């Protein structure tokens, strides 16, 4: 059945008051039959390295703006909630009013917005259902792995609730061991992308609010005692010492853990303590350090009891010294660009290896050794590609613009998403920067909020650098960087838009910079918009010539900042944003990309490419 033949109810911009019903689910869902209390999702490091049964493909879907599938019209608990996936029976006097078999289909992974024109602006709940056949093995745990679902999501297997999750950009692992049985099974998911005042991010963003099961879905099978998280890295200053830990779930203290790197002839074992963690510290000979020039990856085996994981990892160090950033003990300049997880050509949320290789391939062509993955954690496929291709990564928690910084519940949500980001992705050599936030207002509540996140990130992973993208203030023609949040950062990030949101491109020629922190500085955003193929004077906004002129004046200005150690102009590719409605120019795309969403390179691309490749900018001192 073609989707275009179905007339789906649509809620635009999340304005229906019935969204309040959805908001009550976190408190009331366990009261519904079949929706018994379920364990919280766990974090699995390197879940993509596990053997998996894919549940990708077409899922039955029902758009449900009133969340009728859970509640009756009087908000009473529904006795035949859609998670039960009931089938109509001949002669039934009370037939079901839904049918996933005949319902429209949505592809998973994928956002619903770009799969059907009527859902482009939809915000609210959508139900998903898929049948699958499975044969569980004895003495195993089975996890329903969802790469991401935006923004809140609930999952049932065979009518039994298995978990719920808040956050649109981190993986979900629901224990479905007790819910799955041999033979025919079904999984139902409810996903709600309604923006929330107390959400992370909050009500307003400058990117499209893509909803749905946006990343891959699979079943992962592990032994009863299994490795859930691990951290292996090169010790700073030691040259050839690998240290870290492996955590074992479900075992007893004293479980043996073994790590081996066959290519280096290295093998080390340790036993778990009362916390389930085995601490490792061992010398390796002949190790080649990972770097953008030589992104060496090693096969690494992790073993605990009946469980084994075959990883692919690089080893390098990153630290600061004064105003320098040191990679493997040597100064480096980060020649970069900012990237949204927007799919090239088809648009929508990026999720595939092909998406990652196209986007990062363009970055490499530009001359980049670094990308800022904004403004949320990106998919594992992007991080694996960065590891392979030798591209350093700034990874960002979605603390964006103005949140409820004085709300402890919002802080807890930000901490949860940060924990999931770090514990999922900590073994990617490409990641060197954990970013806590982007363009947040300067006030005491905000500063305390993000300082708390920075301290948490540093305690979880002391091997990487902590940053955030700050706003700057102007005094005459001087840009001043003195946000008190800078005290909590290892590397200062700043965003500025001379020539676009203020002044003219030539204004950069007389702009001075005053940096109050003796720390490395990354200009995390600058640039301006242009519609690909629109030409005119270099003084005519929206033309390729105007955008290129911004870059010609920005680059010499930035190159004069003594502690500049990197830049990631905004942005690699045009991306959808509801804040950009200018008809005929933006058409609901942010046009600051150096490349259009259809792959057309703008003049500014070549201006930056020349600067990166001929050495006129980006020399680490």
d(CA 164, CA 172): 9
pLDDT digits (tens, 9 = 90+) for 127-159: 999 999 999 999 999 999 999 999 999 999 999
d(CA 394, CA 392): 7
pLDDT higher than 80, residue 259: yes
pLDDT higher than 80, residue 494: yes
> How many helices and strands in the chain, by DSSP H and E?
8, 33
Comparing 75-79, 177-181, 188-192, 224-228, the range with the smallest average pLDDT is 75-79
Strands of 385-481, DSSP E:
392-396, 431-438, 465-471, 473-475, 478-481
Given this model, what pLDDT does residue 617 score? Answer: 86
Contacts of 150 (CB under 8 A, 6+ apart): 111, 168, 169, 191, 193, 209, 210, 211, 212, 214, 349
For the segment 496-502, the average pLDDT, to the nearest whole number, is 98
pLDDT higher than 80, residue 26: no
pLDDT digits (tens, 9 = 90+) for 421-448: 999 999 999 999 999 999 999 999 999 9
Q: Name the one residue in this structure whose structure tokens are 């006795």.
A: 79
| DSSP SS3 for 586 | coil
pLDDT higher than 50, residue 209: yes
* Sheet order of strands, 266-271 included: 266-271, 256-261, 298-304, 307-313
Alpha-carbon torsion angle 341, 493, 406, 210, nearest 10: -10
Band of the pLDDT at 79, cuts 50, 70, 90? low
| DSSP SS3 for 68 | coil
CA-CA-CA-CA torsion sign (201, 170, 109, 149): negative
Q: Name the one residue in this structure whose structure tokens are 């029902």.
A: 62
Domains along the chain with CATH numbers: 3-223 (2.60.120.260), 236-316 (2.60.40.10), 319-614 (3.20.20.80)
DSSP summary character for residue 323 = T
Q: What percent of the chain has pLDDT over 90?
A: 88
Given this model, what pLDDT does residue 618 score? Answer: 73
Given this model, what pLDDT does residue 346 score? Answer: 96
pLDDT digits (tens, 9 = 90+) for 391-406: 999 999 999 999 999 9
Q: What percent of the chain has pLDDT over 70?
A: 92
For the segment 589-610, the average pLDDT, to the nearest whole number, is 98
Whole-structure pTM value = 0.94
Given this model, what pLDDT does residue 78 score? Answer: 59
Band of the pLDDT at 36, cuts 50, 70, 90? very low
pLDDT: which is higher, 613 or 79: 613
pLDDT higher than 80, residue 478: yes
């Amino acid at each position: 059945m073609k989707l275009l033949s179905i007339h789906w109810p649509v809620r635009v911009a999340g304005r229906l008051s019935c969204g309040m019903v959805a908001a009550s689910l976190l408190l009331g869902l366990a009261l519904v039959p079949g929706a018994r209390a379920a364990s919280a999702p766990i974090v699995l490091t390197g879940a993509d390295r596990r053997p998996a049964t894919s549940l990708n493909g077409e899922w039955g879907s029902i758009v449900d703006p009133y969340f009728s599938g859970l509640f009756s019209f009087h908000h009473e608990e529904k006795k035949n909630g859609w998670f039960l996936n009931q089938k109509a029976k001949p002669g039934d006097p009370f037939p079901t009013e839904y049918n996933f078999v005949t319902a429209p289909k949505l592809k998973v992974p994928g956002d619903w917005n770009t799969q059907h024109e009527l859902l482009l602006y939809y915000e609210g709940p959508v139900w998903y259902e898929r049948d699958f056949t499975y044969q569980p093995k004895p003495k195993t745990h089975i996890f329903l792995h969802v790469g991401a679902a935006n923004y809140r999501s609930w999952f049932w297997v065979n009518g039994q609730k298995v978990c719920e999750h808040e956050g649109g950009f981190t993986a979900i692992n629901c224990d479905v061991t007790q819910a799955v049985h041999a033979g025919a099974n079904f999984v139902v998911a409810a996903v709600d992308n309604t923006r929330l005042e107390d959400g992370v991010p909050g009500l307003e963003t400058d990117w499209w609010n893509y909803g749905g099961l946006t990343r891959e879905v699979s079943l992962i099978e592990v032994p009863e005692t299994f490795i859930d998280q691990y951290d292996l890295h090169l010790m700073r200053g030691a040259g050839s010492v690998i240290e870290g830990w492996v955590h074992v779930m479900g075992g007893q203290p004293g479980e043996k853990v073994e790590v081996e790197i066959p290519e280096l002839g290295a093998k080390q074992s340790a036993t778990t303590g009362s916390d389930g963690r085995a601490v490792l510290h061992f010398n390796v000979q002949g190790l080649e350090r990972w770097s953008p020039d030589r992104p060496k990856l090693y096969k690494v085996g992790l073993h605990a009891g009946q469980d084994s994981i075959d990883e692919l990892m690089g080893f390098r160090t990153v630290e600061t010294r004064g105003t320098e950033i040191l990679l493997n003990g040597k100064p480096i300049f980060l020649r970069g660009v900012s990237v949204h997880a927007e799919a090239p050509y088809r648009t929508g949320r990026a999720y595939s290896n092909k998406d990652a290789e196209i986007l990062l391939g363009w970055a490499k062509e530009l001359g980049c050794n670094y990308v800022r993955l904004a403004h949320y954690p990106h998919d594992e496929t992007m991080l694996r590609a960065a590891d392979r291709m030798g591209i350093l990564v700034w990874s960002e928690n979605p603390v964006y613009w103005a949140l409820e910084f004085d709300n402890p519940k919002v802080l807890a949500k930000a901490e949860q998403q940060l924990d999931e980001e770090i514990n999922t992705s900590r073994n990617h050599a490409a990641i060197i920067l954990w970013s806590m936030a982007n363009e947040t207002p300067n006030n005491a509540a905000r500063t305390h909020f993000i300082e708390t996140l920075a301290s948490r990130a540093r305690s979880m992973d002391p091997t990487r650098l902590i940053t955030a993208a700050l706003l700057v203030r102007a005094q005459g023609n001087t840009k001043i960087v003195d946000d008190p949040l800078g005290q909590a950062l290892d590397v200062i990030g700043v965003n500025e838009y001379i020539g676009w949101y203020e002044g003219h491109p030539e204004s950069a020629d007389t702009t001075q910079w005053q940096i109050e922190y003796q720390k490395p500085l990354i200009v995390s955003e600058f640039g301006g918009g242009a519609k690909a193929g629109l030409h005119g004077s270099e003084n005519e906004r929206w033309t390729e010539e105007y955008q290129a002129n911004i870059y010609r004046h920005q680059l010499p200005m930035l190159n004069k900042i003594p502690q500049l150690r990197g830049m990631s102009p905004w942005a690699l590719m045009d991306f959808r944003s509801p804040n950009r409605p200018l008809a005929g120019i933006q058409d609901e795309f942010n046009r600051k990309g150096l490349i259009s969403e259809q792959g057309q390179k703008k003049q500014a691309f070549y201006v930056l490419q020349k600067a990166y490749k001929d050495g006129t900018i980006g020399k680490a001192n």
